[in-house]
């Protein structure tokens, strides 16, 4: 091809990709692509169980699990176990979040509280929460107080550390400007520091939400007579494998729904932050 022809060809408009290719590209960028992957895994589960590739006693067909799950929902048995679990979880979670935000603000803003609380925080934080169970049972017994305490204790540290990091990351120029206009003391902490640390706080709250769900299940499996954790363990001990998987499936659904609700609330509360971030990038 001659140079002139090459030059003319370079000026031709690029051929648009076919509509099917554009649809596939759009699907890859949405959540439906991930949903399709989950459906594929469940289909493989069904095929493996139906073909006998895995023992049906310990690995029932997914269709049977779903049928059992629906029967438990309709009968109200599963919801009856789930409601007290969610009450315990949210009670402990909100207590842990409140303490975590308060202590994180104090440790990040006041050097005195950081020097006082940092050593004990780093001593207690690495210890797994289930390790406290025998001690907590000695003092609080096996009733709801024990479970709420365990959930609150486990939810505390992610919120505390993220709140502290958020306070320490506040722009010093912003603080100096606020002081110049007469904003000092607790007013500065409430009006400047807390909003600036809010994205970090919400990150800690999101992590703690998953932790609260995990510790709730563990505490109910160890010492409880009701709750979704107790239901799963009781089904396993009674060789009710489909009921056991139905309980685990319920936890997966609850965890996903709670996470989506939290993200929606976070996006609404921090809309000002995300809008500012987009403007800065542009």
**Per-residue pLDDT in tens (0 to 9) along the chain, 282 residues:** 444 444 444 454 555 555 555 555 555 667 777 778 888 888 888 888 888 777 777 788 888 899 999 999 999 899 999 999 999 999 999 999 999 999 999 999 889 999 999 999 999 988 888 888 888 888 888 888 999 999 999 999 999 999 999 998 888 888 888 888 777 777 888 888 888 889 999 999 999 999 999 999 999 988 778 889 999 999 999 889 899 999 999 999 999 999 999 999 999 988 876 665 655 655
Task: Write down the pLDDT at residue 99.
Answer: 96
The reported pTM is 0.82
Q: What are phi and psi of 111, to 5 degrees?
A: -60, -35
- In order of their start, the domains of the chain are 20-59 (no CATH), 62-281 (1.10.3720.10)
Terminal Cα distance for the chain, rounded: 43
Sign of the Cα torsion 179, 181, 185, 186 reads negative
Contact 60, 242 (CB under 8 A): yes
Encoding tokens for residue 100? 């975590």
């Amino acid at each position: 091809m001659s140079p002139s022809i090459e030059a003319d060809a370079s000026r031709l408009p690029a051929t648009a990709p076919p509509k099917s290719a554009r649809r596939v590209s759009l699907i890859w960028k949405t959540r439906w692509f991930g949903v399709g992957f989950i459906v594929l895994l469940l289909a493989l589960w069904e095929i493996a169980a139906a073909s006998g590739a895995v023992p049906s006693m310990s690995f029932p067909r997914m269709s049977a699990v779903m049928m059992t799950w629906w029967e438990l929902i309709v009968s109200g048995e599963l919801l009856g176990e789930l409601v007290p679990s969610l009450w315990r979880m949210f009670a402990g979670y909100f207590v842990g979040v409140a303490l975590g935000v308060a202590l994180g603000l104090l440790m990040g803003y006041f050097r005195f509280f950081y020097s006082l609380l940092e050593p004990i925080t780093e001593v207690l934080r690495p210890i797994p929460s289930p390790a406290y169970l025998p001690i907590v049972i000695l003092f609080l017994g096996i009733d709801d107080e024990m479970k709420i305490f365990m959930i609150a204790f486990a939810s505390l540290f992610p919120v505390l550390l993220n709140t502290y990091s958020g306070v320490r990351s506040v722009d010093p120029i912003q603080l100096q400007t606020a002081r110049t206009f007469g904003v000092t003391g607790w007013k500065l902490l409430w009006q400047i520091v807390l909003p600036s640390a809010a994205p970090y706080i919400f990150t800690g709250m999101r992590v703690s939400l998953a932790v609260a769900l995990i510790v709730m299940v563990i505490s109910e499996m160890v010492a409880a007579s009701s709750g979704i954790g107790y239901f799963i363990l009781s089904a396993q001990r009674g060789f009710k494998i489909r009921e056991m998987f139905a309980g685990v499936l319920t936890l997966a659904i609850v965890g996903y729904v709670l996470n989506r609700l939290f993200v929606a609330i976070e996006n609404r509360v921090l809309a000002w932050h995300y809008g500012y971030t987009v403007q800065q990038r542009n």
